[in-house]
Structure 1
Amino acid sequence: MSTTEDLRREKPSAPLQRPPWIKVSVPEKDSLERIGSLMKRGGLHTICQEAHCPNIYECWQMGTATFLILGEVCTRKCGFCAVSKGLPTPVDVDEPIQLAEAAARLELKHVVITSVDRDDLPDGGAGQFALCLDALREKLPAATTEILVPDFRPDPQRGLDIVLEAKPTIFSHNVETVRRLYPAARPGSDYDHSISLLRDASRRIGADRVKSSLILGLGEREDEIRETIQDLHEAGIRRLNMGQYLAPSRRHIPVKRYWTPQEFQDLGQYALEMGFIRVESAPLVRSSYHASV
């Protein structure tokens, strides 16, 4: 069984150069400073910053941000993720209202909330998601909401009960990669567990409100991607995002392949023909890219 260290060592014979289609928009200083100032003032974080998202400038210019709750330190050690790993901080009881107030000041119409993994908490952090949704409903009653949640292990049913009772508009949980690469890319996580969590959510709130995402370039084969898309469809997921993996640093798993825009388009078309109702599939797509209902 391969490990994260194995994937890091399995570097291509020559470093892969970023292809010309990996281009990031130039930021508008005013938009960045406005949102950055709001986040700092409220002691808030965005996954846009913590995960080095390539779309940060585009989204922030549009007044959109994905809030990262429960701190900025994760209890897992996924080999592809830029978020810090280690001992997390205590849960901030003021975070829900601060998040809601920031979203109101930004006049957001669709609010996305995600978190680090919190294996140290009995509910995996589900209660904080629910409190944030409640606060948003009070401050921004017209806004739709999307939660991108961890797997809530070791008690996923408890976590799922808590967050679904808070009535998010969209429920999202990322499988991230194909089954074969899980032990190396996502130590501490389980492919079948993630599929099961998504299936349970779909049965409870409807397939059209459940979403997942894949990152490509970790060493997966095309047939494995198609098999994963099929697994997601059979689990009742009808919203899917697929994007290119970009290694945050030399300490992370190196990029094994840059999938072309045409290949992303073909995979997206495959998903649509299978029955997905909404698919975002392109090199720079991320979990919350063009997030909306």
Structure 2
Amino acid sequence: MNRTGLKAALLEAGTARITGMPVDLSDGSHAGPGAGGTGSVFFSFDGLRVRLSIDENSRVTIEHLGDGKAVLRFGDIVQEGFLEPAALHCPRQAYITISEGCIFRCRYCNVPSQTQKIKTPEEVISMIEKVADYIDCISITSGVIGSPGEDEERVLEIIRRVKRFSLPVGVSTYPLPGTPGRLHDLGVTEVKFNLEAATPELFSEMCPGQDRNLIVSALKDSVVLFGKNHVFSNVILGLGETDDEMKACIKELCEAGIIPVIRPLNPKSDLRDFPRPSAERIMSIFEYHKARLEENGLDPKKALTMCVACTGCDLTPGRDE
């Protein structure tokens, strides 16, 4: 098995059991489909990185030898690597959730069941200051507490404050008409507005109350403002779409100059009984994704922030090869 195939297999597994020396665990995510976890680790090997949630019953074991050095065992596979420290949420980034909570109730997401919390600008600045020597960018995301308009105002104020760090800033929020322009005017580097589901029908089923056309419009407007390789959209693999439907979604996004982030389903909330996508399916979609990116002159290696720069939760063409 090559290293890309191993990462696909680990994404299918999704979890790891940690043994050996004590490990500083990354906090559970506070936003999106990964929210509400009990902690995770970033295992890096041969230039690849994968995020695995902690589960004492996992099929994957990572033995920490000390000083970050580690050995992963998965069936007959023994892979040396290291545990990469997370700055805030992921390695080399201050990836911060402003509003922990959400008025929307996407079926795959635990955020609405979390205790609501809104970080103040002062809290965010303090968090970044503590990791400023260990990060390459600042990434801002948010649930929606109150209304999308209220939440956008909170995010815009944070962006005004974090400009003092002179680092690339990426933003992922639920957009409103004009959101891309407002973010661009404040000097944001990259944006990510998430379609989440491969088809309009699945989107309506999985994300009630949200406007898919608004998200598509924001993505297309963003390409004009931010340029190719700096506009992204998460699409979850495993919500019930066919391979052909996922491929059609990838093709449409790539042709519009948008880099799709194909996120294998992490079964939670209403979808807790759904299976994780198989390694074979992850690899098959990865190869199609790679071809469409190349065909449209898109290069994930040029991304500076957020998920495409991290790659921990996804198999990313150009970076995971």
| C-alpha contact 1:213 1:286 (8 A) present in aligned 2 | no
Comparing 224-233 with 274-283, which one deviates more in the overlay? 274-283
| C-alpha contact 1:182 1:191 (8 A) present in aligned 2 | yes
| C-alpha contact 1:149 1:172 (8 A) present in aligned 2 | yes
For 2:265 and 2:34, how far apart are their aligned partners in 1? 15
Where do 5+ consecutive residues of structure 2 fail to align? 1-8, 43-50, 52-83, 90-94, 302-307
Number of residue-to-residue matches in the alignment: 248
What amino acid maps onto 2:293 in structure 1? Answer: L
For 2:194 and 2:39, how far apart are their aligned partners in 1? 18
For 1:255 and 1:164, how far apart are their aligned partners in 2? 38
Aligned sequence identity (%): 18
Instruction: Check 1:23–1:204 CA distance in 2 against 1; reply closer, same or farther (3 A cut).
Output: closer
TM-score after normalising by structure 2: 0.65
* CA-CA distance at 1:99 after TM superposition: 0.9
1:127 aligned onto 2:149: no
1:176 aligned onto 2:196: yes
Tell me the equivalent position of 2:47: none
1:252 aligned onto 2:281: no
Tell me the equivalent position of 2:227: 206
* CA-CA distance at 1:171 after TM superposition: 0.8
What amino acid maps onto 2:123 in structure 1? Answer: Q
| C-alpha contact 1:25 1:55 (8 A) present in aligned 2 | no
Instruction: Check 1:49–1:197 CA distance in 2 against 1; reply closer, same or farther (3 A cut).
Output: closer
For 1:101 and 1:74, how far apart are their aligned partners in 2? 24
Q: 1:105 aligns with which of 89, 106, 130?
A: 130
Q: 2:15 aligns with which of 24, 37, 44?
A: 24
Q: 1:51 aligns with which of 18, 21, 35?
A: 35
* CA-CA distance at 1:160 after TM superposition: 3.3
For 2:233 and 2:311, how far apart are their aligned partners in 1? 15
For 1:269 and 1:286, how far apart are their aligned partners in 2? 10
Secondary structure, counterpart of 2:278 in structure 1: coil
For 1:271 and 1:254, how far apart are their aligned partners in 2? 32
Of Structure 1 and Structure 2, which has the larger fraction of its residues in strand?
2
What root-mean-square deviation, in Å, do the aligned CA atoms of Structure 1 and Structure 2 show? Answer: 3.5
What amino acid maps onto 2:278 in structure 1? Answer: W
| C-alpha contact 1:75 1:85 (8 A) present in aligned 2 | no
Comparing 179-188 with 225-234, which one deviates more in the overlay? 225-234
Tell me the equivalent position of 1:192: 213
TM-score after normalising by structure 1: 0.71
Tell me the equivalent position of 2:283: 262
| C-alpha contact 2:193 2:219 (8 A) present in aligned 1 | yes
Tell me the equivalent position of 2:172: 148
1:65-118 deviations in Å (ceiling 9; x for gaps):
221112x220001000121259966x65xx122212211211222121100024
Instruction: Check 1:29–1:176 CA distance in 2 against 1; reply closer, same or farther (3 A cut).
Output: farther
For 1:252 and 1:228, how far apart are their aligned partners in 2? 21
Q: 1:277 aligns with which of 286, 290, 299?
A: 299
Where do 5+ consecutive residues of structure 1 fail to align? 1-18, 40-44
